[in-house]
Structure 1
Amino acid sequence: MRLHRPYFAVTAALAVSVLGITAFHHTDEGDVHPAHVRAEGAESSASTTGASVPPSAAPSQTVRSRPQLPSQLPGLGPKTLAHIPPGTRQVLVVTGTAKNAASSQAVLWRRVDGGWLRGEVWAAHNGYRGWTDRHYEGDLHSPIGVFGLTDAGGRLADPGTKLPYHRSGAFSVTGTGFEGEPLDGSFDYVVALNYNRQPGTSPMDGTKPLGASRGGGIWIHVDHGGPTHACISLSKAHMRQLLRALDPADHPVAVLGDAASLAH
């Protein structure tokens, strides 16, 4: 029996080419991995017969999808976002549970590859009477707004921050809070909020550009287990983490307020 040679050659080449087809499968995380089954010499066989190698027969590689980071900070509206300086790459967002509530949550966000990477969620306290967009001395509200974080200090030694750190025994405090909790150790670590103060000075500096009636000396400090006069408080462990994370090169700021106000 006589074989028709051209037909046989093309059929064999196509069979080899099929072996080069790539099979894909998805993991539970949504990553795509190519599983190539490829016959040695498939490309040369295909080229001699004029058959093209399918695109899926490209060299094996693992394709990993990266998590999509938000391009804007979640929960912040256009009015709030407009007050964050363009060069800022670290933002501590402290969100109150309600306008008149003294409990809140803090999250340190970091700018990475054009998006925002979220840190841990930390429990926090704020002013006894909640939040205000126009703070006055003694009103027991924390101010709503965006404030620079340029200076730190405390009664204890510097835990390793890149911010200027002023250690002093003057950061001692005694007495009890609004719920009878002891205040001892509340100022072991502090970060000054640039509200009515001169940036680049110790948190203890008393300069008040807006005048004494507008309050001042508002810090992020160690939590004592209850509401504050106007400050933001975090656990001692989280204060150490915050101090070690903040970097002046990233122009860090704090964004403070209740959820409804920050959404504007």
Structure 2
Amino acid sequence: MLALVGLLVPMAMTAGAASAAAQTPFDPKVVPGSQVVYVSAPKGSSHATMSLWQRDRDGWAQTLSVPARVGPPGISKDASEYVSYTPEGMFTLTEAFGRQHNPGSGLPYRYVGTSDRWWWVSDVNSKYYNEPYYCAAAQCPFDTTKSENLGQAGPVYDYAVVMNYNRWPAVPGKGSAFFIHVTNGNATAGCVAGPHDAIVQLLRWLDPHQRPVVITQAT
């Protein structure tokens, strides 16, 4: 979801591997693999923290922590097409896209460029709801006024990872187009947004063989 007007957040980054076997802010027993993107925000706040967690034979270690933004009302299980909550829970990460060429993504990466033909369908009446679709606006089999044109969205979609919230099957109205993308410093319309360099690092780090997930939580 596209960024909304908000307050500018410093883009400072804290990187470097933490000590192994660190205590995790999430329940490791529910994690299916060995990579977690953990996003937390105080209840009702769009100001969040995004951290990357890697599991190896010694346990879990945090490898990155950066400021991030979420939807204006924060993170909630009540996310839908009609409010700007960032959905709360654990969601798989299986694909990415961007207006810029692939920076070395470990996930399958769709280059959309600045084309006006790549969409993410948010039309609740479409059978393609919450899926990407390629078409000229006049020929699209859905309402383009209720969908996102990925190539025309600006630098926030230079790089993005798709959060598999409300997919397979997608429930109409429960929410669509939730991504981890580049921040413009503002609150989002429900996505998670982080610093440009952190999103590039995220793309290069994610490994489908490690079954990566994003965990979002209101604290």
Cα–Cα, structure 1 residues 68 and 120, in superposed 2: closer, same or farther, change >3 Å? Answer: closer
The reply on whether 1:84 has 2:31 as its aligned counterpart is yes
Helix, strand or coil at the partner of 2:209:
helix
Correspondent of 2:207 among 229, 243, 247 = 247
Q: Which residue number corresponds to residue 93 of structure 1?
A: 38
Q: 1:82, CA displacement in angstroms?
A: 5.0
Matching of residues 1-12 of structure 1 within 5 Å: none
- Counterparts of 2:38 and 2:176 in 1: how far apart (Å)? 20
Q: How many residues align?
A: 166
Helix, strand or coil at the partner of 2:82:
coil
Counting strand residues as a fraction of each chain, which structure ranks higher?
2
Contact persistence 1:196–1:215 (CA under 8 A): yes
Contact persistence 1:161–1:245 (CA under 8 A): yes
Helix, strand or coil at the partner of 2:157:
coil
Helix, strand or coil at the partner of 1:217:
coil
Q: Which residue number corresponds to residue 189 of structure 1?
A: 159
Q: 1:92, CA displacement in angstroms?
A: 0.6
- Counterparts of 1:173 and 1:145 in 2: how far apart (Å)? 29
Correspondent of 1:146 among 86, 90, 107 = 90
AA paired with 1:116? W
- Counterparts of 2:69 and 2:182 in 1: how far apart (Å)? 10
Q: Which residue number corresponds to residue 172 of structure 2?
A: 212
Q: 1:107, CA displacement in angstroms?
A: 0.7
Please list every run of at least 4 consecutive aligned residues from structure 1 whose deviation after the TM superposition is greater than 6 angstroms: none
Q: Which residue number corresponds to residue 77 of structure 2?
A: 133
- Counterparts of 1:173 and 1:94 in 2: how far apart (Å)? 27
Contact persistence 1:187–1:221 (CA under 8 A): yes
Structure of higher CA gyration radius: 1
Helix, strand or coil at the partner of 2:214:
strand
AA paired with 2:151? S
Q: Which residue number corresponds to residue 61 of structure 2?
A: 117
Helix, strand or coil at the partner of 1:107:
strand
Contact persistence 2:78–2:85 (CA under 8 A): no
Cα–Cα, structure 1 residues 238 and 69, in superposed 2: closer, same or farther, change >3 Å? Answer: same
AA paired with 2:160? V
- Counterparts of 1:84 and 1:257 in 2: how far apart (Å)? 14
Correspondent of 2:151 among 150, 159, 172 = 172
RMSD: 1.6
Sequence identity (%): 31
Higher relative contact order (CA closer than 8 Å, sequence separation 6+): 2
Helix, strand or coil at the partner of 2:67:
strand
Contact persistence 2:20–2:61 (CA under 8 A): no
- Counterparts of 1:84 and 1:115 in 2: how far apart (Å)? 13
**C-alpha offsets along residues 216-240 of structure 1, whole Å, 9 cap, x if unaligned?**
1100011011101110001111110
Q: 1:211, CA displacement in angstroms?
A: 1.8
Correspondent of 1:69 among 7, 11, 21 = 21
Correspondent of 2:182 among 222, 228, 243 = 222
Q: Which residue number corresponds to residue 234 of structure 1?
A: 194
**C-alpha offsets along residues 145-198 of structure 1, whole Å, 9 cap, x if unaligned?**
000011001111000012100111332245xxxxxxxxx311111100010124
- Counterparts of 1:119 and 1:251 in 2: how far apart (Å)? 17
In structure 1, runs of 5+ residues without a counterpart are: 1-66, 175-183, 199-208, 260-264
TM-score (norm 2): 0.71
Cα–Cα, structure 1 residues 68 and 154, in superposed 2: closer, same or farther, change >3 Å? Answer: closer
Helix, strand or coil at the partner of 1:101:
coil
Counting helix residues as a fraction of each chain, which structure ranks higher?
1
